[in-house]
Each structure stands twice: as structure tokens, then as C-alpha cells.
Amino acid sequence: MKRRKAIVAAGVLLFSSVTAVLGTPAAQALDNGVARTPSMGWNSWNTFGCDINETQDARQFAAWGVDCLGIRHIVNVTVPLAGYAAPGGFNDPDMMEVGRGGMTDTEMRSHFALWAMLAAPLIAGNDIRSMNTATQTILKNQDLIAVNQDGLGQQATQVSNDGTRRVLAERLADGDVAVALFDQGSGTTTVSTTAAAVGKSGNSFTLREAWTGATSSSTGAISASVPGHGTVVYRVSGGGTTPPPSGTDLVSAASGRGLDVPDGATANGTQPVIWDCNGGANQRWSR
């Protein structure tokens, strides 16, 4: 099935697939613990429980930045919903505020990169008639748009999150994996993961950085020095791609930590604990 996700700019629906979504069944409303949102008539549903308008709400959203009820909060809400995202129904964390003010260039890059990783509809909330060069560079990033529009239609899942350093990974249709290294803190820090942790096997990989297009080689390490509130995205190719574990993870929107079975114990009476997310089989749950 061709992917049918809408890109909205200046109030005009621009469909990224030649197959129109009109006439397809509306997405079901999703009770995500924040708000029950109505079906939207296309193939996505709002996950944030709000409908940003052109004035007060949009300005408040931009003022929140990457903390509080801003970008990081919406990411916290949307990441645990990855299991619901697939062609025919995508999680919609609401329109973007890139180019509307209230955020630094670094924060706007994070905003766009994270929405791309979340397989979200890329809805431009700025006035496209008067975009500056920086805004155009962000919204036209072909590498991130390709990740967002990948035919596999998967949403990134959380690999790790220690409260400051957050890693998300999205499997792509050609076997590559997109990896986002998000610095949620205010200062520059090194954010790291490994090819194995994001679902790749082998010991020879090529990393393409989404913002610069620069490529590098790695035997497995995936790491970057990331500015405060910044996000570095790599497209990791090479090696093999390990099958994803069955089930889904259960992540707290408040703490960013997940439900974990200690040491993978299987004995009756084992008590789950809240633990740092690591993508392990002992943190996967089935319905």
C-alpha cells in the first residue's frame, strides 16, 4: 500500500503520494491518556490534544521551546505511541512552529528533525511567503523529509533516555536505520549509542549526517557532540538489520523511563520495575 501522509503548508493540503487520501476511511480516535481526539478524515490523529491556531496558541507553543509543554513534552507523549503508527494511521503531534519565532535555530532544527523521526505529518505553521534562509533550509532538508516519508511507515522508537541524552531510532525500507541524538539539556554534551542497539548487525557502517550531508565510517559506535536543545540525525547503512523484537515498550511520558522485567526473569511473581529504556527484550510487552 502506498504511503499516504499529508504535508500541509499555508492552509493548502499537499499530498506526498500520488494516491489521494480522499474517500479512505477516517482514522479512529485515539485515547492516548492526554486527550481523546476525533478522527481527522485522513490517515492520522492528533496526539497532543490541542489544535494550535494562528495567534495565541501558536505563540505560546513557540515560547515553551524545547522544555515544559513544548517540544520535549510532545515527544514524551508521542514516543510511547509508536506501536500505533503505520501506513493508514500516523500519530500527529500537531503543526510545526519552525520559522515563527520563540526558538533558536538549533531548537527549530530539533523540532523539525524530531517530527520527521516521529513519522508525523509535516505541517508548516509559518508564513511561507516570507521565510528567511534559515527556515527554508530546515523545512527543505531532503534527508529528513526522506526519513519522514519512508515507505516502511514506521515511527522511531526510543533506544535510551537518561533525562538529558535521548536516542531514537527508525527502521527504513531499504534496511538503513535513522538515528536521532537529542540533547535535552541546556549545554553541549556527547550523545552516543551503537549500531547493535539501533537494530544493525555487523562491524562496518556508513553514517550520513542529515544536516551537513557529511559521511563517516564506523565499526559500530554512533556518537556526536550535540549542542544544548540540539538534535543530530544519522542515516546508518551497511551491515545487516536485525528483526525488531516483538511487542512494544511502555514508556512514562513524565520520566521517560520504561517498564522493565529485572534480568529478564520469567518466574511467576516477578515484579516489574521502572528502568532506563535500553530496547531490550525484557522491556517489550505484548497485548
pLDDT (tens digit per residue) in 178-228: 999 999 988 999 999 999 999 999 999 999 999 999 999 999 999 999 999
The whole-angstrom separation of Cα 22 and Cα 92 is 18
> Residue 251 phi/psi, 5° resolution?
-115, 135
Domain residue extents for the chain = 6-148, 157-241, 245-287
pLDDT in tens, 29-50: 344 333 333 334 344 455 544 4
Q: What is the domain class of 6-148 according to CATH?
A: alpha beta
Amino acid at 279: G
pLDDT at 198: 94
Pick the CATH number of 157-241 from 1.20.210.10, 2.60.40.1180, 2.40.10.10, 3.20.20.70: 2.60.40.1180
DSSP states along 148-193? HT-TT-PPPEEEEE-SSEEEEEEE-TTS-EEEEEEE-SSS-EEEEE
Q: 33 and 78 in contact (C-beta within 8 Å)? A: no
Please tell me the distance from the alpha carbon of residue 264 to that of residue 101, in angstroms, as a whole number: 47
